[in-house]
Amino acid sequence: MTRGPSAFNRISIGLGLAFLYAPIVLLVVYSFNSSRAVNVWAGFSTRWYETLFANDQLMAALWMTLRVGALSASIATVLGVLAAIALVRGGFFRGRAVFSGMVYAPLVMPEVITGLSLLLLFVAIGLARGFWTVVLAHATFTLSFVTVAVRARLMTFDRSLEEAAQDLGSPPWRAFFEVTLPNIAPAVAGGWALAFILSLDDLVIASFTSGPGSTTLPMRIYSAVRLGVSPEINAISTLLIGSVAMAIVIYGVVRARKTA
Amino acid sequence: MKQIGAVRSSFAPWNDPASVPLVRFEGVTKRFGDMTAVDDVSLSIYEREFFALLGPSGCGKTTLMRMLAGFETPDAGRITLGGEDLAGIPPHKRPVNMMFQSYAIFPHLNVEKNVAFGLRMEGMEKSAVKARVEEMLALVKLEKLGARMPHQLSGGQRQRVALARALAKKPKLLLLDEPLAALDKKLREETQFELTDLQVELGMTFLIVTHDQDEAMVLADRIAVMDHGRIVQTGTPGEVYEAPANRQVAEFLGDMNIFEAVVDSVEPPMARLSGEGMKFFVQDDDCPAAGSKVFLSVRPEKMRISLDPPPAKTPNVIAGEIWDIGYLGDWTTYLVEIAPDRRVRVAQANATRHVERPMSWDDKVFVSFDPDAGVVLTS
């Protein structure tokens, strides 16, 4: 008879979790440090959160990041869903294999190269670097993630549901919105969330494609850290971690309730 | 014309030259790459008819139905519905509804909303939709389950939802793609009778696609037997069962014993045949001339089996030995070996509970059949 995990399993799980989360826990703990020094614990305080909200530069960067993330994720989701439909439903068209391969290329492309090539493109077509170039760049590299998520879902989607909708009198576009979309919605939402988080994360591509006045939060943090780690950075990172964790929990609860 | 099989009242518009078909296939052909799925099919279906397309999987019956629904386009030929050519009319504009084999119930909508879907697309007023949905759910006896989600339903209930949804728009023609295939035997039989009742009650035209001959026979007014994209025979269940057009139809519908024979002499309506070392005396109006090579086909249930030899001068007696017995309760099937590796199938209804001397394996038996029990086929 087995009673839960063995000692060996327990130790493995403990070590694995420690490996993943120790740095994050440290960061969270130090965000509540009353001392400015990063490595000396001087007591609990929320003063860094107060100065953080007073720091216009950081707040502007956060706002910029959220806007870039939301907008680029939305663009990537629309294009990614369309690409997934073309790949799954398009039947056999010339260059299908090439197209499906090309959609996935950004998944394995080094970020530096993606960033550099986008920069070259924007310069070549004379597009001034700023908010929109970052949005476009992020939409470009997150699109393939959306496509992968939605494609998997579409492949298992029963095509006759769409046919039934058409048979009952809805034109193809309406059948898509009334039947297909609600049924692939979890994958679409998941794809959007993934694209949003990837955009939030990104430092390299944003560095290549942003211009003056479009500094994102990772860029701001990175440049701030080069001048020395400030507890404010710990505080904003803690807030980011908290909101991502909350989003994941909400998503899980909603899904669990839907299938219950 | 001689009536054979079960005959439903006097409904037979196909015999009336004045009646106009509701659906007409005229030389319809459909190819997928090198494969010809439907090959030059011409077919008429009349209003209020329950019509079955019967055939093995891959025979083109589903493709034929999907062309009617608008999901496939014929490569050649014409399909008309109520006199109107359907070419170029997309599925959502055809006055035809389909019940899918998978049922295709929308998983994100509850039962009521599933049934209401087609009415909503039509732009029907809300109160009218509500009334119609209630009417349809009552029709399929699901009144109490309107708020259920599809995953909370049993297979039989899902089938009813699919049916109610397809009927809700009161289409001119209802297409049913293997509607009962997913149900267990008992439920399937019950549902078969309900479907026929429903069709008569609603006065609608039903076209069903099935590979199950029992289903086609029970449900349909007429059956078209399909194979390799062609229609091999069209007729009432009685006609296709008792007067099959060829060996293919004969063997596809039920069991059939087939003897290869040559016609010795013909004195209409009687004929003498010989083959496989036996003499046959049969009654068939359409027997070909003496010397023709034919196939005498006899259904197992039209043969008799006995331990004692039948009286002298009884025609068509074959001696043999019981090789195997299949006891089904209501029927017993005997496989009788009449020559080395040559067996015939005889079926007998178990009309009584006790038999003095039941037949057993290796018993010497006599198989016989009446002159009018067999059909002479030429191909």
Domain locations along chain A:
56-259
Model confidence band, residue B208 (pLDDT cutoffs 50, 70, 90): very high
pLDDT digits (tens, 9 = 90+) for A122-151: 999 988 888 999 999 999 989 999 998 899
Residue B1 has pLDDT above 50, yes or no: no
Do β-strands B173-177 and B205-210 pair in parallel, antiparallel, or remain unpaired?
Answer: parallel
A249 touches chain B (CB under 8 A): no
Residue B304 has pLDDT above 50, yes or no: yes
Residue B149 has pLDDT above 80, yes or no: yes
**According to the model, what pLDDT value does residue B94 have?**
92
| B352: its two tokens | 């009584």
Distance, CA of A87 to CA of A102 (rounded, Å): 11
Closest-CA residue of A relative to B166 is A168
Nearest to A161 among B97, B98, B104 (CB): B104
| A79: its two tokens | 């294009």
Which three-class secondary structure string do you get for B59-82?
CCHHHHHHHHHCCCCCCEEEEEEC
CA A10 to chain centre: 32
**According to the model, what pLDDT value does residue B7 have?**
54
Residue A1 has pLDDT above 70, yes or no: no
Distance, CA of B218 to CA of A215 (rounded, Å): 75
Which three-class secondary structure string do you get for chain A?
CCCCCCHHHHHHHHHHHHHHHHHHHHHHHHHCECCCCCCCCCCECCHHHHHHHHCHHHHHHHHHHHHHHHHHHHHHHHHHHHHHHHHHHCCCCCCHHHHHHHHHHHHHCCHHHHHHHHHHHHHHCCCCCCHHHHHHHHHHHHHHHHHHHHHHHHHCCCHHHHHHHHHCCCCHHHHHHHHHHHHHHHHHHHHHHHHHHHHHHCCHHHHHHCCCCCCCHHHHHHHHHHCCCCHHHHHHHHHHHHHHHHHHHHHHHHHHHHHC
Q: Do B106 and A171 touch (CB under 8 A)?
A: no
**According to the model, what pLDDT value does residue B96 have?**
93
Nearest to A164 among B93, B104, B108 (CB): B104
- Determine the CATH number of domain A56-259: 1.10.3720.10
- In chain B, CATH 3.40.50.300 sits at 13-251
Per DSSP (E only), the strands in chain B are 23-32, 35-45, 50-54, 76-81, 84-85, 96-99, 173-177, 205-210, 222-227, 230-235, 257-267, 270-275, 278-283, 293-298, 303-306, 317-327, 331-339, 342-349, 364-369, 374-377
Distance, CA of B178 to CA of B186 (rounded, Å): 16
Q: Do A169 and B121 touch (CB under 8 A)?
A: yes
Decide if B70 contacts B226 (C-beta within 8 A): no
Interval B294-310 mean pLDDT: 91
The widest CA-to-CA distance across chain B, in whole angstroms, is 78
Q: Do A166 and B92 touch (CB under 8 A)?
A: yes
> Does B258-377 carry CATH code 3.30.1330.20?
no
| B140: its two tokens | 């399929």
Min distance A102 CA to chain B CA atoms (Å): 28
Buried b (16+ CB within 10 A) or exposed e, B83-108: eeebeeeebbebebbbbbbbbbbbeb
**According to the model, what pLDDT value does residue B106 have?**
94
Identify the sign of the CA torsion B192, B197, B202, B205. Answer: positive
Interval B108-122 mean pLDDT: 94
The interaxial angle of helices A56-89 and A181-201, nearest 10 deg, is 140
- Chain B residues with CB under 8 Å of a chain A CB are 69-71, 90-93, 96-98, 100-102, 104, 106-108, 117-118, 121-122, 165-166, 169
**According to the model, what pLDDT value does residue B4 have?**
56
C-alpha pair distances (Å), B244 with each of A93, B6, B148, B236, B288: 45, 16, 47, 11, 16
Q: Do A163 and B104 touch (CB under 8 A)?
A: yes
pLDDT digits (tens, 9 = 90+) for A8-60: 989 999 999 999 989 888 888 888 888 877 777 888 888 888 888 888 888 88
Interval A198-211 mean pLDDT: 89
Model confidence band, residue B61 (pLDDT cutoffs 50, 70, 90): very high
Distance, CA of A114 to CA of A145 (rounded, Å): 15
Interval B250-260 mean pLDDT: 89
Q: Do A168 and B117 touch (CB under 8 A)?
A: yes
How does the average pLDDT of chain A come out, rounded? 86
> Could you tell me which residue, A81 or B289, shows the higher pLDDT?
A81
> DSSP string of B22-35?
SEEEEEEEEEETTE
| Residues of chain A contacting B169 with CB distance shorter than 8 Å | 168-169
Decide if B332 contacts B325 (C-beta within 8 A): yes
Q: Do B117 and A183 touch (CB under 8 A)?
A: no
Min distance A121 CA to chain B CA atoms (Å): 43
Question: Helix, strand, or coil here: B13?
Answer: helix
- In chain B, CATH 2.40.50.100 sits at 258-377
Choose from B63, B72, B92 for mutation: most chain A CBs within 10 A. B92
**According to the model, what pLDDT value does residue A35 have?**
82
A163 touches chain B (CB under 8 A): yes
Interval B216-236 mean pLDDT: 92
In this structure, of A89-93, A211-215, B51-55, the range with the lowest mean pLDDT score is A89-93
| Residues of chain A contacting B71 with CB distance shorter than 8 Å | 163, 166
Residue B60 has pLDDT above 80, yes or no: yes
Amino acid identity, position B286 = D
Nearest to A161 among B70, B106, B121 (CB): B106
**According to the model, what pLDDT value does residue A258 have?**
60
Nearest to A163 among B71, B93, B169 (CB): B71
- Counted across chains A and B, CB pairs separated by less than 8 A come out at 63
**Bridge partners for B333 per DSSP:** B326, B347
| Residues of chain A contacting B107 with CB distance shorter than 8 Å | 161, 183
**According to the model, what pLDDT value does residue B193 have?**
86
Burial grade of B3 (CB within 10 A; 0-12, 13-18, 19 or more)? exposed
> Does B13-251 carry CATH code 3.40.50.300?
yes
